[in-house]
Amino acid sequence: MIELMTADDHPLIVKNIVWHDEAATAAFAQALASQPAIGRTLIELQGDLGAGKTTLVRHLLVSLGVQGRIKSPTYAVVEPYTLDSSAAHPELNIWHFDFYRFNDPREWEEAGFRDIFASPGLKLVEWPEKAGPHLPPPDLLIHIELQADESRAVTLSAYTATGAELLT
Ligand SMILES: Nc1ncnc2c1ncn2[C@@H]1O[C@H](COP(=O)(O)OP(=O)(O)OP(=O)(O)O)[C@@H](O)[C@H]1O
Ligand SMILES: [Mg+2]
């Protein structure tokens, strides 16, 4: 389903899809990774504990060519990555945030988060609702909901032209 909207506060595009298993999440990640616009995007991931946010991020990072261990940034709040020069998006800077335990607004300035969100690159944000008022609006919001049969109901909302490009 694709819905076109116009008002400023509303998404430009809303798309509902289902991931029946983790392979479907991986296929979605692969498709996102192949989009040129992925390298200049802020993606927010919403959904309950265990919905599958980190799983999507891991598949996306692997699809983009991140080598080695992918840590969950729950305690560190952010894990940075830089793709190497031979990747499809050479030397792309990527930041994976998890704001679940974030509760110190001073950290926003001190840890340089403001600078990161002002930089080009790919920012992936779990628990954006816990970042307080600091986060800029996302290009793409991905909401994941675990269903009784273990499938994931996913709502994709594009708020910018870049986000809309990712959904085409
Ligand atoms: N599409 C999927 N199909 C089946 N299982 C999945 C899928 N996505 C994730 N899972 C499983 O769900 C579990 C939790 O996933 P994950 O850690 O990604 O959740 P999360 O949303 O990041 O949770 P948290 O809010 O705690 O960070 C994992 O064991 C993972 O293997
Ligand atoms: Mg997670």
The pLDDT score that the predictor gives to residue 107 is 83
Question: 């560190």: which residue's tokens?
Answer: 76
Q: For ligand 1, is residue 152 a contact (CB within 6 Å)?
A: yes
Residue 156 confidence class, pLDDT cut points 50, 70, 90: very high
- For residues 144 and 156, the answer to whether their CB atoms sit within 8 Å is no
Which residue's CA is minimally distant from atom 11 of ligand 1? 52
Cα of 25 vs centre of ligand 1, distance in Å, is 10
The pLDDT score that the predictor gives to residue 47 is 98
The pLDDT score that the predictor gives to residue 6 is 45
Ligand 1 atom at minimum distance from 23 CA = 1
- For residues 37 and 165, the answer to whether their CB atoms sit within 8 Å is yes
φ/ψ (deg, to 5) at 95: -125, 130
Ligand 1 atom at minimum distance from 49 CA = 25
Rounded to an integer, the average pLDDT of 91-108 is: 91
Using the predicted structure, report yes or no on whether residue 5 has a pLDDT greater than 60.
no
- Give me the amino acid identity at 106: R
Rounded to an integer, the average pLDDT of 133-141 is: 93
CATH number at residue 43: 3.40.50.300
Q: What is the pLDDT of residues 62-87, one digit of tens each?
A: 999 998 888 888 778 999 999 999 99
Please state, rounded to an integer, the average pLDDT across all residues of the chain: 92
In Å, the largest CA–CA distance within the chain is 43
Question: 């991905």: which residue's tokens?
Answer: 142
Count how many domains the chain has: 1
The pLDDT score that the predictor gives to residue 8 is 53
Which has the higher per-residue pLDDT, 81 or 9? 81
- Print the domain residue range for 13: 2-167
Cα of 110 vs centre of ligand 1, distance in Å, is 31
